[in-house]
A and B are shown apart, each in its own frame.
Chain A
């Protein structure tokens, strides 16, 4: 490869940058105090309500569930949308749950290298079902931290993406999620913030869902505090 050329280019570029006129000094931006000082979200709306309001405004469908009934609600979504093949990660919350509830031929386990299963993923799978790292209330977004069990294309290639989100993992802002969990010290190969299904307005500014990614995004929102009758609060 052009390593030596690139090396010479590197030296030239860096020496030009280093010999530049010094700029007026600006300190590092203080992002934490920006978030601390700005107006806080309205108290009359709960974080959960805010998440739902924002997520649905981006055309995500929300299915509210409790810790006990989410598997049933998830199966209802699958049946209601008449989803056939489901792409699922082995040894995940979703994998264990669905293998107990659905016929084995309906589950397509993401357990091989993408190169071997590309055509299945692009053409023969109806939905990808994934867990999430959390949600962001301010924008109604999901946070995904793909793993070997749930690779990044699980939430990307199938036409429908169903995501499982636990209510207590919703934070207010992306900044909060980033700082609380010290992302900068342990970035995965891919980290995603996803807000609604994929979309485009490239033809005459008309909004169309399902550009290259999923056409539909369903969020199964699991409440942690189940009320006595088993319904979410």
Chain B
């Protein structure tokens, strides 16, 4: 067993709390290519293991309370699934309808094909308002485009205001769960982070006091910032409404207090009618945190109107593609875009629970991350993610909008290892990185296997040699022997034994 790798954090020497040290591994690279390395470290980190196990068990239990009646759950889920499928079926039309409605309301609609496009739009807006600071509500899409880093490179301070995200930003860390971003931090970690980074913050591990410290520090920023940034949970084509689901109130502050509100979202989040919010909002908080509702369900329809005294005077919506149109192109991958980002699939995933969210090296971890990341960043760098599953099926069972995640994982495994012409079910157009996951050794092994199994004479010859030269089989057989006994040919082949039995007198 490997010892957990500890990297010393630079800066003032504060006493390390018990269990804090291994969490510092985040200072290493965050890339999907390192999944195996990072997950190996994580499974050998008892503190991380127990904090994820505890958090996931907690979330699983809380969700189960609401969905104890399977028939009732299934009815609601079917409605949610249908709502999302219906929206995706009409996606281009709904997007243009939404755009027209928003334009009529006075919202600026921007389209971005890549993260670079989206960041440029942010920069242009910030420049137009001479803004040096933005306050931001929780948005996974802003993580996807690395908004904070890009803005920082241009001298703009993009401040996270969700408590969990704020803690991570102060510490230079990343979210490890899409709903509970800082679950890998203990209250002692947070105490140190606040004490170190917030002027005048006393060292306390009382959670009430810690939240109070964060609240006070951030309230000053809401008032001072010209631009507020938010994500989008759902957007409604018929009314031009943006729906935000949250408990803390920071999302409301970011979209009510600053003069400019910029919302960024993946283009798949649109639904047709206002009424269609109902099943999705009924499913989202129950699936995510096991709550029947969140504190705030915030419906925003355009900027401040004449006579109103608050709310943004200017509003922007950025619609990001970044690989989503690839997932959309073929029906067999399209369900990926049904996702409402509840995180239930990760909460129930035996792999995620053991390796934690940071191991994935992608914006979206866990099962949903493994099926969406290959479209966002290509199959090659995410090669290990679709294989990070035992195909137990839990993710598909709990998904509130019925995404067949295990099936998608298998399709992506195939797409990674087979070019279009070699695929059993060829795509109409290659995915980014199609076939690039192939390993020469693997290809040769399968070629050899096919040769032997399609030529009787060769097969017999091989079996004859294999049974006689079995003492030569190596003890080390790659991944297989990591936790299993080495494979060794039998001393006699099945054919030989059958022949002997048939010939021997009974």
Chain A partners chain B: yes
> Which of the residues A20, A26, A115, A152 comes within 8 Å of B329, measured between beta carbons?
A20
Which stretch from B248-256, B366-374, B384-392 is at the chain A interface?
Answer: B248-256
> Which of the residues B75, B89, B297 comes within 8 Å of A34, measured between beta carbons?
B75
Bound: A113/B239 CA distance, A: 26
Within 8 A of A (CB), among B208-237: 208, 210-212, 215, 218-220, 222-223
- Of A9, A24, A122, A191, most B-chain CB atoms within 10 Å: A9
Question: Is B257 an interface position by the 8 A CB rule?
Answer: yes
Q: Is the CB of B279 within 8 A of A31?
A: yes
Question: Is B24 an interface position by the 8 A CB rule?
Answer: no
Which stretch from B33-41, B179-187, B411-419 is at the chain A interface?
Answer: B179-187
Knowing A187-B301, A191-B299 are in contact, say whether A205-B86 is a contact too (CB < 8 A): no
Question: Is A1 an interface position by the 8 A CB rule?
Answer: yes
Question: Is B272 an interface position by the 8 A CB rule?
Answer: yes
Question: Is B21 an interface position by the 8 A CB rule?
Answer: no
Within 8 A of B (CB), among A1-59: 1-2, 5-7, 9-10, 12-14, 16-29, 31, 34, 38-39, 54, 58
Question: Is B442 an interface position by the 8 A CB rule?
Answer: no
> Which of the residues A118, A190, A199 comes within 8 Å of B248, measured between beta carbons?
A199
Knowing A20-B329, A23-B331, A202-B164 are in contact, say whether A10-B310 is a contact too (CB < 8 A): no
| A59 to B, closest residue via Cβ | B295
Bound: A178/B277 CA distance, A: 10
Q: Is the CB of A191 within 8 A of B125?
A: no
Question: Is B449 an interface position by the 8 A CB rule?
Answer: no
Q: Is the CB of A203 within 8 A of B249?
A: no
Q: Is the CB of B111 within 8 A of A24?
A: no
Residues of A within 8 A of B257 (CB): 114, 118, 153, 157
Question: Is B438 an interface position by the 8 A CB rule?
Answer: no
- Of A113, A114, A157, A212, most B-chain CB atoms within 10 Å: A212
Residues of A within 8 A of B86 (CB): 26-29
Bound: A184/B237 CA distance, A: 11
Interface string of A110-126 (1 = CB under 8 A from B): 11111100110010000
Interface string of B269-287 (1 = CB under 8 A from A): 0001111101101000000
Knowing A26-B85, A208-B211 are in contact, say whether A198-B248 is a contact too (CB < 8 A): yes
Q: Is the CB of A175 within 8 A of B110?
A: no
Which stretch from B90-98, B357-365, B476-484, B493-501 is at the chain A interface?
Answer: B90-98
Residues of A within 8 A of B281 (CB): 174
Question: Is A96 an interface position by the 8 A CB rule?
Answer: no
| B297 to A, closest residue via Cβ | A193
Q: Is the CB of B211 within 8 A of A204?
A: no
Q: Is the CB of B218 within 8 A of A212?
A: yes
Q: How many residues in A have their beta carbons less than 8 Å from beta carbons of B?
A: 80
Bound: A152/B296 CA distance, A: 12
Bound: A34/B274 CA distance, A: 16
Q: Is the CB of B274 within 8 A of A213?
A: no
Question: Is A180 an interface position by the 8 A CB rule?
Answer: no
Bound: A159/B259 CA distance, A: 22
Residues of A within 8 A of B125 (CB): 1
Interface string of A169-209 (1 = CB under 8 A from B): 00001110011000110011111111111111111111010
Question: Is A88 an interface position by the 8 A CB rule?
Answer: no
The smallest beta-carbon distance between A159 and chain B, in angstroms, is: 10
Interface string of B155-188 (1 = CB under 8 A from A): 0000001111001000000000000111101110
Interface string of B195-208 (1 = CB under 8 A from A): 00000000000011
Knowing A113-B309, A184-B239 are in contact, say whether A139-B293 is a contact too (CB < 8 A): yes
| B280 to A, closest residue via Cβ | A29
Residues of B within 8 A of A157 (CB): 253, 257
Bound: A151/B211 CA distance, A: 26
Q: Is the CB of B112 within 8 A of A153?
A: no
The smallest beta-carbon distance between A176 and chain B, in angstroms, is: 10
Q: Is the CB of B256 within 8 A of A156?
A: yes
> Which of the residues A21, A139, A189, A204 comes within 8 Å of B186, measured between beta carbons?
A204
Knowing A114-B309, A191-B301, A212-B248 are in contact, say whether A204-B187 is a contact too (CB < 8 A): yes
Q: Is the CB of A212 within 8 A of B161?
A: yes
Knowing A1-B124, A13-B111, A26-B85 are in contact, say whether A189-B301 is a contact too (CB < 8 A): yes
The smallest beta-carbon distance between B102 and chain A, in angstroms, is: 12
Knowing A184-B273, A190-B299, A200-B247 are in contact, say whether A151-B113 is a contact too (CB < 8 A): no
Residues of B within 8 A of A14 (CB): 92, 95-96
Q: Is the CB of B210 within 8 A of A203?
A: yes
Q: Is the CB of B120 within 8 A of A184?
A: no
Bound: A203/B248 CA distance, A: 13
The smallest beta-carbon distance between A119 and chain B, in angstroms, is: 7
Among all A-B residue pairs, the 3 with the closest Cβ atoms: A213-B249, A202-B164, A211-B248
Q: Can you show 15 pairs from A to B with CB atoms below 8 A apart?
A: A16-B328, A17-B95, A21-B428, A28-B86, A29-B82, A29-B279, A115-B259, A152-B310, A153-B256, A189-B304, A201-B289, A203-B164, A203-B211, A205-B180, A212-B222
Residues on A close to B: CB < 8 A?
1-2, 5-7, 9-10, 12-14, 16-29, 31, 34, 38-39, 54, 58, 110-115, 118-119, 122, 139, 141, 148, 151-153, 156-157, 173-175, 178-179, 183-184, 187-206, 208, 210-214
